[in-house]
């Protein structure tokens, strides 16, 4: 499967010094998901996604 699944969305205008999307993605990686953060410019949000089945190939 070459698709990707959005598992969470975060507004781009978070508090200064706060990275909630990155923190959420890191927590998912610790659970074994290959989560990553991408920016959706059209909606000005950060998306936490997994590609394919999302298991394995964990990059921390």
pTM beyond 0.85: no
Q: How far apart are CA 33 and CA 51, in angstroms?
A: 10
Burial 21-49 (b: 16+ CB within 10 A, else e): beebbeebbeeebbbbbeeeeeeebbbbb
Condensed to tens digits (0 to 9), the pLDDT of residues 1-48 reads 468 999 999 999 877 778 999 999 999 999 999 999 999 999 999 999
């Amino acid at each position: 499967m070459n698709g990707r699944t959005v598992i969470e969305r975060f507004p781009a205008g978070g508090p200064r010094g706060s990275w909630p999307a990155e923190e959420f993605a890191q927590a998912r990686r610790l659970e074994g998901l290959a989560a990553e953060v991408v920016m959706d410019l059209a909606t000005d949000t950060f998306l936490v996604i997994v590609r394919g089945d999302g298991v394995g190939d964990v990059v921390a």
